Amino acid sequence: MSITLRPVQALRLWQNVALAEINDQRPDLTMRQAAILLTIYLDPPPHTVRGLAARLNVTKPVITRALDTMGAMKLVSRHRDQRDKRNVLVRRTVEGALFVERFGDAIVEKARGLPL
């Protein structure tokens, strides 16, 4: 068994989530920022700039800038790797975990309300 969605339901779901996100106070993340954030919170650590860039298939400055922005939002934090000081380890934060959790709940809620 797997999650079954019809295309029109999928689109309606995306629309409803997008509408909800837009109307929240929080400045909305770009698609790339969202992908980075979710990767940090869903994929197993450690997460480095280079690793994230490879995972998303984007350049490193994209990751650096996204971490700047989301770091200012307190959604992620950066730490130098003490074993190899070239590396930066990206870590989760309490605020970030809460944000991701709320986001997941919002999607679930919109999915529940979908017409069949």
Nearer to a second copy, 35 or 71 (CB): 35
Tell the smallest beta-carbon distance from residue 51 to a second copy (Å): 14
Whether the CB-CB separation of 93 and 75 falls below 8 Å is answered with yes
| Options 15, 45, 50, 61; binder of a second copy; rule CB under 8 A | 15
Handedness of CA 35, 90, 93, 64 (dihedral sign): negative
Q: Which of 2, 7, 44, 85 binds DNA (CB under 7 A)?
A: 85
Q: What is the dihedral of CA 49, 53, 54, 59, to 10 degrees?
A: -130
95 scored as a contact of a second copy (CB under 8 A): no
Binding site for DNA (CB under 7 A): 30, 32-33, 48-51, 53, 58-69, 78, 83-88
